[in-house]
Amino acid sequence: MTDPVAPTALRIGIVGFGLRASLWRHAHRPEAGVEVTIVCDTSERGRADAAAALPDAEITADLDRLLSSGIDAVMVLTPDHQHRPVAVPALQAGLAVFCEKPLATTIEDCDEIMQTAYDSGARLYVGHNMRHMPVVTQMRDLITSGRIGDVKTIWCRHFVGHGGDFYFKDWHADRRNSTGLLLQKGAHDLDVIHWLAGGFTEKVTAMGSLSVYGDITDRRDRSGERMADWYSLDNWPPTAQSGLHPVIDVEDISMMTMRLDNGSLASYQQCHFTPDYWRNYTVIGTEGRMENFGDGPGDTIGIWDRRHEGYAEPDETVVISGDDTGHGGADAQMMTEFLRFAAEGGQTQTSPVAARQAVATALTATASLRGDSSALPIPPVDPNLVAYFGAGQDVQARHRAAYSPSAATSSS
């Protein structure tokens, strides 16, 4: 889905100018009347980076100043555990909110953010950019066209080859900030699994461990540094990593199994010390299966739709499209959709309810793996919120037809 930027002028504020701050390039479009006019960051480096990137924008450390500056929308790009403290007052102020994924680090915070959007009528958009990533949208198009019949199971293997650099040298490694990497990293893939399968997880079980990075004793405080300061392909093998975060109490390998509310089964495996870095989705339906080989532009999706003796090359191969502007062009398309939504409202390819369900599934899986790996149920969403966000955040939706139970299983 690629929508034109709405012609209505938008003034945008950004809170948090760190790892995902590069999204400003896709949001700041003066030629279209859309401008980032103010940036708030509590760190000196964040403010300095923002001033260098956006010299005409006001730079502040005061959230209240940003919220009262006359902006129309806010991009919440803070570390995950700071999403709710920013998103809630922004929504209460009536501003359209772009909240980076995951929506929050607790189910309660997710529900509070959505409830605030419901109560205020302010527009909430969650940055699940993979719903615009070509490998995902092309697989979904193949599924919805009936190419492999009805989906019955999805397996996702995530080889996080850069895990030591991306997640074990900063705040991600401390569960007080990230809860765990099934949430921080896995929320992307869990949302994709739900979207491709057409349902939400209702029960999950998981196992995991801190197998490699917990044994590395070379630790230091990297406050003031950014991932780009230490990332290198030469940081290999994983056991030779140095300068890890002082606190490491999240798992570096995890696996979970899910039963969805439409009867489909799914599994997700995540490893942070592989030599390669990509996702593999295998989708099996009643009339065939497909899987991707690589997940970027020029890689391929294989489709098998007839019987074979043993291993066989795909019966059809689809080349993955996209460009090099960020996640195969997904970042640019996502921001285009958000700008249109902030200005005009309407349906979006992303979904706050689906974002909440990805968080709830990840958190419940984390509870399972840190417990006895029992199968645990996913706490349900308030039906009123399901109906409201399913209707495109139409303020009048809450006053119209009574909620239908069938809406609760829609992955929008």
For residue 236, the model assigns a pLDDT of 95
Q: Looking up tokens 């995991």, which residue turns up? A: 208
**CB–CB of 108/84 below 8 Å?**
no
In tens, the pLDDT along 48-77 reads: 999 999 999 999 999 999 999 999 999 999
Nearest alpha-carbon partner for 239 in 208, 275, 185: 275
Please, what is the average pLDDT of the chain? Answer: 93
Whole-number Å distance between alpha carbons of 131 and 40: 28
For residue 1, the model assigns a pLDDT of 39
Report the pLDDT averaged over residues 160-187. 94
**CB–CB of 139/281 below 8 Å?**
yes
pLDDT greater at residue 328 or residue 371: 371
Report the pLDDT averaged over residues 320-334. 88
High-pLDDT (> 70) share of the chain, %:
94
With both helix axes pointing from N to C terminus, report the angle between 107-120 and 352-369 in degrees, rounded to the nearest 10: 160
For residue 380, the model assigns a pLDDT of 96
For residue 7, the model assigns a pLDDT of 45
Sequence-separated (6 or more) residues with CB below 8 Å from residue 334: 26, 127, 128, 129, 131, 132, 350
Query: Is pLDDT above 90 for 117?
Result: yes
Direct distance between the N- and C-terminal alpha carbons of the chain, in angstroms, rounded to an integer: 14
Report the pLDDT averaged over residues 336-342. 96
Look up the pTM and report it. 0.93
Residue 329's region, left for phi above 0, alpha for psi from -120 to 50, else beta, is left
Query: Is pLDDT above 80 for 6?
Result: no
* Domains of the chain: residue spans and CATH: 131-326 (3.30.360.10)
**CB–CB of 294/308 below 8 Å?**
no
Output the DSSP codes for 242-302: -SB-S---S-SEEEEEEEETTS-EEEEEEESS-SS-EEEEEEEETTEEEEEESSSTT-EEE
For residue 411, the model assigns a pLDDT of 45
* DSSP percent split of the chain into helix, strand, coil, nearest 5: 40, 20, 40
